[in-house]
Amino acid sequence: MAQSDVDVVVVGAGFAGMYLLHELRKTGFSYRVLEAGDDVGGTWYWNRYPGARCDVSTTDYQYTWDPELHEQWQWSEKHAAQPEILRYAQFVAKKHDLYSDIEFKVRVNGAQWNEKTKRWSIHTSTGEKISCQHYVMATGCLSVPKEPDIAGTEKFTGNVYVTGRWPHEGVDFTGKRVAVIGTGSSGIQSIPHIADQAKELVVFQRTPNFSMPAFNGPAPQYRVERLKADRATYEREARYSGTGVPMEDSTVSALSVTQEEAFAMLEAAWQKGELLSLGNTFMDSAINRKANDVVAEFMRMKVRSVVKDPEVAELLSPYKHGYGTKRPCMDTGYFETFNKPHVRLVDLNAQPIRSITETGIDFGNESKDFDAIVYATGFDAMTGAIVNVDIAGKDGVTLKDKWENGPLTYLGLTSVGFPNLYMITGPGSPSVLSNMMVSIEQHVDWIRDTLVHMRDNGFETIEPTPLAEEGWRVHCTDCADITIFQEANSWYMGANVPGKPRVMFPYIGGVGRYRMACEEVVAKGYLGFELASGAKKQCNDGLVREVQPDVDMVLDFISTLNLPAMETMSPAEARAFSEASSAMRPSGPEVGEITDGVLQGADGNLEYRLYRPATPGPHPIAVYFHGGGWVFGSHTSDDPLCRDLCAQSNTLIVSVNYRHAPEAPFPAAAEDGFAALKWVHKNAAALGGIPEKIAVAGWSAGGNVAAVTAQMARDKGGPQLSGQLLLCPVTDGSQQHASHRENGERFILTKSLMEWFWDHYATPEQRKNPQASPLLAASLAELPPTMLVTCQFDPLRDEGNAYARALMQAGVEVEHVEARGHIHTSITMVDMLPSGAPHRREMAQALKGFFN
């Protein structure tokens, strides 16, 4: 007789439930494992349609927790077919005697949290109520087939099949007239097999999909060899990789090579026959539409090379979504199938289905009879299996209600209001964007370790805090926002199920980065969780990820380079270092014209670079001052940012090479700033600018020069400025603001580097002068309209914020943007850090606004 009161209830006996059962047994918990099917295998139990295969190589799509399996189980192919994967699951279940502890053909109908007893009550389809402390949903992400939202489905009297619920005995289509609706992975894999048997096959396609041949055969030799040589390292690489399969991250932009070179690189990845390799050919195909177009065009070229009828080839070629933004497919002979005379493709955009009828399908102005209809129409992905169970947490609130506008989880594992509830590969974790085996094992390990930790430390409950959950939602959104995934109507976005909220369901920040976040949470005493038992509570509340994801990646990359701190260099070395770094960045957008010249500074000539918009002039002018701590940088050193500002704001930018410390210390930069403004104003018409429409702009120390120049223009009788644009400006060298300490170490501009800059530029006494510290000016009244951008993780944040506040108090019109998750340098990194793009747009808008 099974216990009705256990430590843990696990729902699902796919690869997740099986491994969790093993671990719960090992760690001595009592449990019940419930499975709706009558065997193990989960997705590989249900999806038995012909041609079903895994798109991840067998070298990677297998358990790692039992090393003996690598000797005891031999895969026959690179991409194992469903029957073999199911046999593997059965083999593991037998080997570890898992069958004896799994209850098959049992569904969970409901689950309620009891706040008094601190336990879940699980109601099963057999009428049982099971009480448990922990409730784990190991129900899979693609386990609930979507209802076919097509009129008349109930009328058809022929045979109906759904790929995700395929009959166990198989289906013989010989001599039959068959319709397949849907061309996602399931359709693309099954269509060639159905075509082999059917007398006539009509494929109803709403959206063509990207697919590459599986080139099935033996497992990739180079992976086999690496595994043989050092399995532990290989597995570790997989766990910290982007997708859960070891792979070198590309450092090549698809836009930095010719189309011929790009296609050659893609061809090499194609020939490897690895889906993830193809998507990984370029560093920017997921974040830049133009880069993605290069891959998409390569894929369309491949379709054209196979499909003989050019019209059919065109219909099979995706144009509306980027490569990878809907799950790309792997096939065996899919496109070739459309060369067969008995196979027809119907484009539902031109000929929509009017209704399924008793005998077939009415579409466009045709009616066609079929013996069988196959629905390959997909799943209510990621949340379907979770919200279809009536799960009521604290105060009776159901997960379905809580997630009405999109799933809210902490780490994709847990959710506020649902203590001791865990989801394996849930929304907000890498899940379906990863090699599921790696993600499943990670979640099972995390849950096991958490349960053990709670038991060892006498905690009854664990629940994320609202702050942590909201922070994770924001982080997940930040990750998605820098990609082009949200443009596509994919099931990743919930777009395939009518009424489902449109959000990015999986976490797109990468498997390794996700794992590090989970590890950090634990290392920081379960950061963002409250653990409790009666009056005993432990809560280290906070956010595990706050820095913008692309900025974080750059910081991590830089930390691997072990670069010397600039403040340990001489100014000459620092200048050379800065120039060498600048040479490696993307150039920024095209502008109408770039010319270099010389202008009159306070003490001799200064170089300048002029960026002219492509539109007819004359244009408003921004006199721009570069960053570099008054010590390094030049009129060309902020080139990408100047181009971006010029192109986006239609403003002529004159970037000035003011004199640098220590050779020319305070007040040289400030005096040059003012002199340059006067010169540009005087020569505005000759430069192609409008003298009455002139602003100053600058970043960092250049922001300081711009702010001081604006004050000098006010105090010295002009020129009259239309505005000042200050990005992360230095405004106060007279004191340490809190952000100097808070953000002083990890974020490129460090506290000690800032001190080094000041030491070269101005003495402690000089720093009290408003021409060094514009915040200290006696009055800020009558300064021009201001756009001031400060960054959350910039040591200069607080002095920038203080300047914005002081300007407002003095009656100046101020637009103050506090860039969340950004660092001192990130907004200037044009074409490198997409998260900075919205702020650059805001700055350009502000510049335009100054002149209107």
Binding site for ligand NAP (CB under 6 A): 53-55, 142, 149-150, 163, 181-187, 189, 206-207, 327, 348, 376-379, 432, 491, 496
CA proximity to 748, closest of 721, 723, 728: 728
427 in helix, strand or coil?
strand
Least CB distance to ligand NAP at residue 49 (A):
8
Closest CB to ligand NAP among residues 275, 807: 275
Angstrom distance (rounded) from CA 232 to CA 234: 5
Least CB distance to ligand NAP at residue 194 (A):
14
Closest CB to ligand NAP among residues 206, 304: 206
Least CB distance to ligand NAP at residue 700 (A):
45
CA proximity to 759, closest of 635, 630, 671: 630
Cα 150 from chain centre: 33
843 in helix, strand or coil?
helix
DSSP letter (8 states) at residue 636: T
For residue 689, the cross-strand partners are: 619
Closest CB to ligand NAP among residues 363, 666: 363
Closest CB to ligand NAP among residues 354, 585: 354
Closest CB to ligand NAP among residues 132, 432: 432
Closest CB to ligand NAP among residues 386, 527: 386
Angstrom distance (rounded) from CA 579 to CA 660: 15
DSSP H helices, 282-406, are 289-306, 310-315, 334-337, 384-387, 399-402
Closest CB to ligand NAP among residues 142, 307: 142
Provide the phi-psi class of 526: left if phi over 0, else alpha when psi is between -120 and 50, else beta: left
Closest CB to ligand NAP among residues 276, 646: 276
> What is each CA distance from 190 to 181, 194, 246, 374, in whole angstroms?
11, 6, 29, 10
Angstrom distance (rounded) from CA 296 to CA 291: 9
Least CB distance to ligand NAP at residue 44 (A):
10
CA proximity to 363, closest of 354, 372, 371: 354
Least CB distance to ligand NAP at residue 438 (A):
14
Least CB distance to ligand NAP at residue 187 (A):
6
Instruction: State the CB neighbour count (10 A cutoff) for residue 792.
Output: 18
Length, in residues, of the chain = 852
Closest CB to ligand NAP among residues 214, 708: 214
86 in helix, strand or coil?
helix
Closest CB to ligand NAP among residues 43, 792: 43
* Residue, CB closest to ligand NAP: 184
Query: Exposure of 225 by Cβ count < 10 A (0-12 exposed, 13-18 middle, 19+ buried)?
Result: exposed
CB 724 within 8 A of CB 800: no
Least CB distance to ligand NAP at residue 53 (A):
5
CB 511 within 8 A of CB 240: yes
Angstrom distance (rounded) from CA 497 to CA 716: 65
Angstrom distance (rounded) from CA 290 to CA 87: 44
CB 337 within 8 A of CB 192: yes
Least CB distance to ligand NAP at residue 31 (A):
29
| E strand residue ranges, 328-455 | 329-331, 343-347, 353-356, 360-363, 366-369, 372-375, 390-392, 421-423
Query: Angle 80-83-84 (CA atoms, 0-180°, nearest 5)?
Result: 45
Cα 303 from chain centre: 29
Angstrom distance (rounded) from CA 417 to CA 817: 34
Least CB distance to ligand NAP at residue 417 (A):
29
β-strands 604-612, 652-656: how paired? antiparallel
Angstrom distance (rounded) from CA 322 to CA 343: 27
Closest CB to ligand NAP among residues 219, 804: 219
DSSP H helices, 571-638, are 571-583
Closest CB to ligand NAP among residues 432, 599: 432
Least CB distance to ligand NAP at residue 332 (A):
11
Least CB distance to ligand NAP at residue 188 (A):
7
Closest CB to ligand NAP among residues 57, 377: 377
Least CB distance to ligand NAP at residue 373 (A):
12
Phi, psi of 308 (to 5 degrees): -75, -40
In what helix (H) or strand (E) does residue 33 lie, and over which residues does it extend?
A: strand 31-34
Least CB distance to ligand NAP at residue 349 (A):
9
Closest CB to ligand NAP among residues 296, 521: 296
Closest CB to ligand NAP among residues 185, 711: 185
Least CB distance to ligand NAP at residue 182 (A):
3
Least CB distance to ligand NAP at residue 617 (A):
47
In what helix (H) or strand (E) does residue 708 lie, and over which residues does it extend?
A: helix 701-715
CA atoms within 13 A on the CB side of 606: 31
